């Protein structure tokens, strides 16, 4: 799932360049010690053993330290330590943006910040310019400064959630565990936050660029992190001459072909299939879907990268032979079925009479080592629900059957619930409500797939066996259900 | 006084009876088998399933067979797959005689080949099909060994297995080789054909019942095959399902979850019926019945593998709490009526290459992969075989795109189901040919399932594009549809 390793709790890259003075950062770049505990998706009523890890963070003023979201996700305890002190201070997370892998943490004890100089956010460094990564990578406990060259700037996936893509800067020095959250500096200013590397490559490390850092800082200005808006368009390139002729796109014009506005996102109701988007905020879109940004060609969604939720973007669209301007108010993608890995959330589940139900999520698939079959259904339903906007908002799964005399001969493996007494549950909370409110003794639960036998829940049998089953299997709480946000 | 008189006729009868069942000794059988067993050598070559203008590397298979009718040899279907040339040799000689494929049923696993050499035909004498063998019966397995000499092994039946198309018997045997059509003989008559691998002295024979059924199917001059499934059935081991279907403790059977229109059972059986008995055989909750000779067998064999389309079946059914007697007719469901058959008819895929799109009809022999298109195709593979034939007759899809300047930027169509060409719905690959006769203006427009752009092919350049692609990629033939010259 993740071929790019987040460096979480790991650390720094780069060597001190001639322009960078280690002492300058000794007080401002701190080491982060995290004790984290994730979730057990197969036995969601309990948690797996906690583990420790480390990362880096840097002072940005106002009692705030910036680090990576993955350094502090699922944290149970968080400690920070300055390079020039021996004491470790307890810290707390103030803001966290999993989609951009950035977080702000703070320390209550004001003495921690004494003598610290905030690091300023600089501008995007040029290709081939030298940068230095400061942090606490593996291999030692002292502050480390390493040097590298900016080798590539492009939009690419952020592996913390596995589903988000933002501008990323590649540097040619290896970024190692422990570097995560540490600043990458140039001329005394922060030009990136080290965050991920490549497992099977040499000298490829990635940092979060200033534009993403500023977007995050601007977003939290109102005291809450909202995330990135989504244009929400399925498009195709228009590199093919025949396709362009067929669509009536003049030779001197370029753009991308709209296949479908994604449900739950910004363009629904504004664009339609076979529109050709030629410009975004006045920037000409090339036939391969890029726009020119400085010396680089970047995907046209780069323009949306700089926007906040609620901002507008103007698309120039060729429709029915005419060019029109379409203003779009940007929204966050509101589908509940997401392919993003989620953190700091209890898994939802329900245990009833030995049957364990849960919503299908990326976390579930990843943590439970979900079967290929289940992954297939997830992808298929993700397409149906999130992309095509059909009926359901979540998939409900019979994740396992606890063996008991009343659950004998159960041969389910990850059955996806299709109906409860003939009605499709729209999400997990809805499913649980259906069971809780059932009036009949027998509740029929049907599953996806060809000729999969239904499960008949006999509420009389469950009433008699449920407590014993929970007791014998060590189930301290038989459910965790979250009602969808209105 | 009367007693001796009474005993004498009884003794005489016993003596006659013993004579009738006297086992034919190996010495008795050898002369007959010399003129009945043949070794079969098949040079086979299959079509490439995704680049179907090519053939795969040819190979040679060797198997055995037995003459069952004048000049006609019964053997296994897998021996004669994709034949280019079939030859036979006989006991004691290395000379190869020509033969041809007369019939094959891959689902049953049997085939007939016809010897075309008149002299050999006259020399070979058929062996009769014997009576069914049962558990613990012992018999010999004969073959022509690598030197074309008669070789005998012994075997004993230890278990029976039934499926929807055949009955096989597991045997303990001294035969050291894998089954490739070696002949089981008892009392001088055929008792089965050895099939599958022989491991740890355990092998499998295709039963007399299956062989008899296969040969008898030709009685009216046409082979029809086993009746097809028309029912979806589910075992009822689980107490929750038994409660739901209203079975008492002493009732056992199979739930009917779907009756396909115009197929076996339609108009008589109903969804939620429970099949209790078929043709006087009581069913158990796992979907098996007790056969007096073979033990517990799969119920599907009762109304598919041992019967013929048109046969009437008497069944006992639990419907709405009452046991009712019903009678229904077995209906055919040939592979040609399945939307996604196991293999292309005659092993040769129908295809078209248009504008670089390699268009095929979906079969289960095609790997669908894990791409987005593959996810859609897999849904068809899962469901379509058992679907009613009222939807699309076949699924036509793009296997891959042969890249060309004309399809630049339009090569993300791999594994995509094709829905329309020039606005015409595509139900089978011949529809594409018909639709290409009516272009949309200057273009042929191909529309696909899923969020996908159209593929366009300029009408005027189509021929030149197809010729160029065919030449560059050595596509020796850009189409093969049933009815085209071989």
Looking at residues A82-111, what average pLDDT do you find? 95
- Burial of B458-480, coded b for 16+ CB within 10 Å and e otherwise, reads beeebeebbeebbeebebeeebb
Q: Percentage of chain A surpassing pLDDT 90?
A: 62
pLDDT at residue number A411: 65
pLDDT at residue number A9: 36
Looking at residues A360-364, what average pLDDT do you find? 87
CA–centroid distance for A19 within its chain: 35
pLDDT at residue number A14: 34
The CATH number given to A233-329 is: 2.30.42.10
Looking at residues B272-288, what average pLDDT do you find? 93
Q: What is the DSSP letter of A409?
A: T
pLDDT at residue number A329: 96
Which is catalytic among the residues A28, A180, A266, A465?
A: A180
The CATH number given to A19-222 is: 2.40.10.120
> By C-alpha distance, which of B402, B430, B426 is closest to B414?
B402
Residues in chain B: 486
pLDDT at residue number A18: 44
pLDDT band per the 50, 70, 90 thresholds, residue B3: very low
pLDDT at residue number B13: 39
Q: Greater confidence, A413 or A320?
A: A320
Residues A72-95 have pLDDT tens digits of: 999 999 999 998 888 999 999 999
Cα–Cα distance, B182 to B221 (Å, whole number): 27
Lowest mean pLDDT, pick from A346-355, A366-375, A418-427: A366-375
Q: Provide the sign of the torsion angle of the four alpha carbons A268, A269, A273, A279, taken in this order.
A: negative
Q: Is the pLDDT of residue B248 over 90?
A: yes
> By C-alpha distance, which of A134, A145, A148 is closest to A183?
A134
**What does pLDDT average to over chain B?**
87
- List Cβ<8 Å contacts ≥24 apart for B442-446: B442/A245, B442/A246, B443/A242, B443/A245, B443/A246, B444/B354, B444/B355, B445/A246, B445/B420, B445/B421, B446/B354, B446/B357, B446/B418, B446/B420, B446/B421
Indicate if A349-480 has the same CATH topology as A233-329: no
Q: Provide the sign of the torsion angle of the four alpha carbons B144, B145, B148, B153, taken in this order.
A: negative
Question: B59 vs chain A: nearest CA distance in angstroms?
Answer: 34
Cα–Cα distance, B86 to B96 (Å, whole number): 9
CA–centroid distance for A324 within its chain: 34
pLDDT at residue number B25: 62
**Could B243 and A458 be called an inter-chain contact, meaning their C-beta atoms sit closer than 8 Å?**
yes
pLDDT at residue number A24: 76
Cα–Cα distance, A204 to A4 (Å, whole number): 10
Q: Is the pLDDT of residue A270 over 70?
A: yes
pTM beyond 0.90, yes or no: no
The third-level CATH classification (topology) of the domain covering A349-480 is N-terminal domain of MutM-like DNA repair proteins (3.20.190)
Contact B133, B191 (CB under 8 A): yes
Residue B140 CB contacts under 8 Å (≥ 6 apart), including other chains: B26, B29, B152, B153, B154, B155, B184, B185, B186
Q: Is A288 among the residues known to form the active site?
A: no
Give the 3-state secondary structure of residue B247.
Answer: coil
Q: Quickly tell me which residue has 């905020």 as its tokens.
A: A281
Give the 3-state secondary structure of residue B115.
Answer: strand
pLDDT at residue number B18: 35
pLDDT at residue number B22: 38
pLDDT at residue number B270: 93
Q: Greater confidence, A11 or A276?
A: A276
Q: Greater confidence, B197 or A149?
A: A149
Looking at residues B348-377, what average pLDDT do you find? 84
Q: Quickly tell me which residue has 């115009």 as its tokens.
A: B262
Cα–Cα distance, A16 to A199 (Å, whole number): 24
Q: Is the pLDDT of residue B21 over 60?
A: no
Chain B residues touching A457 at Cβ < 8 A: 240
Three-state secondary structure string covering A239-303: CCHHHHHHHCCCCCCCCEEEEEECCCCCCCCCCCCCCEEEEECCEECCCCCEEEECCEEEECCHH
Q: Is the pLDDT of residue B228 over 70?
A: yes
**Predicted complex ipTM:** 0.80
Lowest mean pLDDT, pick from A316-325, B135-144, B361-370: B361-370
Supply angle C-alpha A242, A244, A247, rounded to 5: 110
Which residues are bridge partners to A443 per DSSP?
A: A457
Q: Is the pLDDT of residue B451 over 50?
A: yes
- From the CB of residue B166, how many other CB atoms can be counted at a distance below 10 Å? 25
Chain B residues touching A448 at Cβ < 8 A: none
Chain B residues touching A406 at Cβ < 8 A: 239
Question: A395 vs chain B: nearest CA distance in angstroms?
Answer: 17
Q: Is the pLDDT of residue A235 over 90?
A: yes
pLDDT band per the 50, 70, 90 thresholds, residue A199: low
- From the CB of residue A200, how many other CB atoms can be counted at a distance below 10 Å? 7
The domains of chain A are located at 19-222, 233-329, 349-480
pLDDT at residue number A407: 85
Q: Is the pLDDT of residue A12 over 60?
A: no
Q: Which residues of chain A approach chain B closer than 8 Å at the C-beta?
A: 234, 236-243, 245-246, 257, 259-260, 287-288, 376, 379-380, 383, 387-388, 406, 408-410, 442, 444, 449-451, 453-458, 461
Residues A237-248 have pLDDT tens digits of: 999 999 999 999
Token pair in block for residue B357 = 């799109």
> By C-alpha distance, which of A173, A234, A180 is closest to A205?
A173
> By C-alpha distance, which of A299, A303, A321 is closest to A311?
A303
Q: Percentage of chain B surpassing pLDDT 90?
A: 58
pLDDT at residue number B391: 64
């Amino acid at each position: 799932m993740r071929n790019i390793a987040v460096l979480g709790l790991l650390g720094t890259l780069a060597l001190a360049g001639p322009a960078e003075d280690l002492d300058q950062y000794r007080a401002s770049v701190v080491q982060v010690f995290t004790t984290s505990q994730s979730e057990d998706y197969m036995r969601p009523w309990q948690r797996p053993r906690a583990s420790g890890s480390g990362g880096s963070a840097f002072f940005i003023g106002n009692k705030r330290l910036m680090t990576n979201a993955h350094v502090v996700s699922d944290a149970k305890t968080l400690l920070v330590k300055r390079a020039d002190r021996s004491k470790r201070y307890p810290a707390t997370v103030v803001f966290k943006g999993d989609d951009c892998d950035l977080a702000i943490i703070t320390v209550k004890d004001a003495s921690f910040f004494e003598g610290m100089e905030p690091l300023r956010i600089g501008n995007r460094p040029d290709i081939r310019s030298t940068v230095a990564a400061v942090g606490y990578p593996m291999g030692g406990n002292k502050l480390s400064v390493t040097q590298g060259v900016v080798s590539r700037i492009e939009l690419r996936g952020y592996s913390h959630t596995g589903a988000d893509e933002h501008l990323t800067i590649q540097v040619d020095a290896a970024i190692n565990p422990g570097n995560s959250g540490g600043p990458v500096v140039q001329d005394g200013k922060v030009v990136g936050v080290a965050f991920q590397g490549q497992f099977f490559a040499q000298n490829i490390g990635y940092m979060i660029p200033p534009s993403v850092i500023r977007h995050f800082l601007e977003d939290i200005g109102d005291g809450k992190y909202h995330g990135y808006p989504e244009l929400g368009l399925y498009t195709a390139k228009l590199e093919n001459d025949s396709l362009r002729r067929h669509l009536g796109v003049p030779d001197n014009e370029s753009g991308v072909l709209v296949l479908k506005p994604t449900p739950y996102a910004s363009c629904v109701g504004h664009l339609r299939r076979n529109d050709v988007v030629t410009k975004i905020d006045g920037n000409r879109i090339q036939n391969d879907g890029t726009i020119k940004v400085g010396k680089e060609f970047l995907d046209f969604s780069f323009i949306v990268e700089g926007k906040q939720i609620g901002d507008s973007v103007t698309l120039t669209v060729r429709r029915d032979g005419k060019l029109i301007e379409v203003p779009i108010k940007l929204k966050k993608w509101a589908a509940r079925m997401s392919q993003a890995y989620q953190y700091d959330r209890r898994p939802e589940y329900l245990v009833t009479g030995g049957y364990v139900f849960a919503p299908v999520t990326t976390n579930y698939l990843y943590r439970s080592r979900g079967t290929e079959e289940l992954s297939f259904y997830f992808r298929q339903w993700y397409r149906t629900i999130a992309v095509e906007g059909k009926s359901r908002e979540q998939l409900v799964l019979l994740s396992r059957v606890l063996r008991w005399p009343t659950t004998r001969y159960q041969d389910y493996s990850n059955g996806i619930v299709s109906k409860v007494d003939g009605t499709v549950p729209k999400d997990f909370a809805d499913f649980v409500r259906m069971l809780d409110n059932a009036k009949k003794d027998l509740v029929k639960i049907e599953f996806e797939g060809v000729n999969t036998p239904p499960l008949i829940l006999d509420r009389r049998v469950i009433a008699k066996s449920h407590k014993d089953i929970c007791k014998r299997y060590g189930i301290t709480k038989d459910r965790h259900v979250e009602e969808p946000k209105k | 006084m009367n007693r001796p008189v009474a005993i004498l006729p009884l003794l005489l009868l016993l003596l006659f009876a013993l004579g009738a069942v006297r086992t034919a000794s190996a010495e008795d059988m050898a002369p007959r088998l010399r003129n009945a067993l043949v070794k079969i050598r098949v040079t086979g070559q299959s079509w490439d399933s995704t680049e179907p203008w090519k053939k795969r590397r040819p190979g040679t298979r060797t198997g055995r067979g037995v003459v069952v009718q004048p000049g006609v040899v019964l053997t296994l279907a897998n021996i004669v797959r994709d034949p280019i040339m079939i030859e036979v040799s006989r006991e004691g000689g290395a000379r190869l005689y020509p033969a041809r494929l007369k019939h094959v049923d891959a689902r049953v696993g049997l085939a007939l080949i016809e010897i075309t050499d008149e002299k050999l035909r006259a020399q070979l004498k058929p062996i009769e099909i014997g009576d069914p063998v049962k558990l613990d019966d012992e018999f010999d397995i004969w073959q022509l060994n690598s030197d074309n000499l008669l070789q005998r092994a012994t075997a004993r039946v230890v278990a029976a297995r039934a499926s929807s198309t055949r009955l096989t018997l597991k045997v303990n045997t001294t035969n050291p080789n894998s089954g490739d059509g070696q002949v089981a003989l008892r009392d001088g008559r055929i008792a089965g054909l050895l099939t599958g691998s022989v491991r740890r002295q355990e092998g499998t024979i295709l039963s007399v019942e299956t062989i008899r059924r296969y040969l008898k199917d030709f009685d009216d001059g046409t082979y029809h095959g086993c009746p097809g499934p028309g029912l979806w059935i589910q075992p009822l081991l689980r107490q929750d399902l038994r409660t739901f279907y209203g079975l008492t403790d002493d009732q056992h059977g199979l739930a009917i979850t779907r009756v396909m229109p115009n197929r076996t059972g339609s108009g008589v059986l109903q969804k939620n019926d429970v099949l209790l008995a078929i043709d006087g055989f009581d069913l158990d909750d796992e979907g098996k019945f007790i056969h007096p000779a073979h033990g517990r067998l799969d119920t599907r064999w009762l109304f598919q593998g041992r019967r013929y389309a048109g046969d009437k079946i008497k069944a006992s059914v639990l419907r709405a709490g009452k046991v009712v007697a019903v009678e229904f007719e077995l209906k055919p469901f040939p592979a040609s009526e399945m939307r996604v058959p196991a293999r292309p008819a005659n092993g040769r895929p129908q295809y078209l290459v248009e504008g670089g799109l390699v268009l095929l009809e979906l079969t289960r022999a095609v790997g669908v992969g894990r791409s987005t298109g593959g996810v859609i195709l897999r849904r068809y593979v899962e469901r379509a075989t058992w679907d009613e034939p009222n939807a699309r007759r076949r699924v036509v899809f793009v296997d891959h795109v042969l890249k060309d300047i004309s399809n630049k930027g339009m090569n993300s169509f791999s594994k995509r189901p094709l829905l329309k060409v020039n606005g015409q719905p595509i139900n089978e690959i011949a529809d594409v040919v018909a639709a290409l006769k009516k272009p949309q203006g200057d273009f042929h427009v191909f529309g696909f399932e899923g969020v996908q752009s159209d593929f366009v092919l300029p009408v005027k350049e189509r021929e030149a594009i197809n010729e160029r692609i065919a030449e560059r990629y050595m596509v020796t033939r850009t189409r093969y549809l049933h009815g085209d010259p071989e």
